[in-house]
Amino acid sequence: MVRKFLVAGLLLAGVSVAFAQNDPIAQRVETMKGVGALWYGDVNKMMKGEIPYDKAKFVAALDRMIAASKAMPGLFPDTSKTGTTKALPAIWEKKSDFDARWKKIGDEATAAKASVTDEASFKKLQPDLNKNCNECHSPYRARNS
């Protein structure tokens, strides 16, 4: 009996994971939550001097951003225009610009990863990276209400 419930639970978990993998809205939400957790957590705290600069934490945030820059353009198929999403119609209307912005984010995060050497270089690079994020959020993401 316990075995049946265990098997049923595992099957249900597998179905849930498979569903999320096929749901581009859920995938992009999770991708951005991952970026935000690192970027608005440790990276912001380092910029504000709330925690000491840690290159490994900055590089981890950059790696997450680079991965997102590769994944996100593909997570906006026409079938994901509606649903629980903050994505604005402009994404699909100006898809080439949207995709180019993600490429820029990835390219600049890769360059930052190669050039950051210390706290001073981190503090110089981070605002430009933040600006890239904000430049994409403004035209393509609905504001929180």
- Given this model, what pLDDT does residue 138 score? 87
Question: What CA–CA distance (Å, rounded) separates 74 from 123?
Answer: 31
Chain segment 8-35, per-residue pLDDT in tens: 554 544 444 444 568 999 999 999 999 9
The answer to whether residue 12 is domain-embedded is no
Residue 28 makes CB contacts below 8 A (sequence gap 6+) with 72, 75, 76, 85, 87
**Which whole number is the average pLDDT over 54-59?**
95
Q: Which of 35, 56, 73 is nearest to 113 (CA)?
A: 56
The answer to whether residue 15 is domain-embedded is no
Please count the structural domains in the chain.
Answer: 1
For residue 87, what are the β-bridge partners?
141
Chain segment 35-51, per-residue pLDDT in tens: 999 888 999 999 999 99
The answer to whether residue 38 is domain-embedded is yes
Chain segment 86-95, per-residue pLDDT in tens: 999 999 999 9
Domain around 123: 25-140
Give the domain CATH number at 89. Answer: 1.20.120.10
Name the more confident of 3 and 107.
107
Mean pLDDT of the chain: 87
The answer to whether residue 5 is domain-embedded is no
- Given this model, what pLDDT does residue 4 score? 53
Name the more confident of 110 and 12.
110
- Given this model, what pLDDT does residue 136 score? 85
- Given this model, what pLDDT does residue 31 score? 95
In the chain, where does DSSP find H-type helix? 2-21, 24-38, 44-48, 55-71, 90-93, 95-115, 119-140
The answer to whether residue 17 is domain-embedded is no
The answer to whether residue 113 is domain-embedded is yes
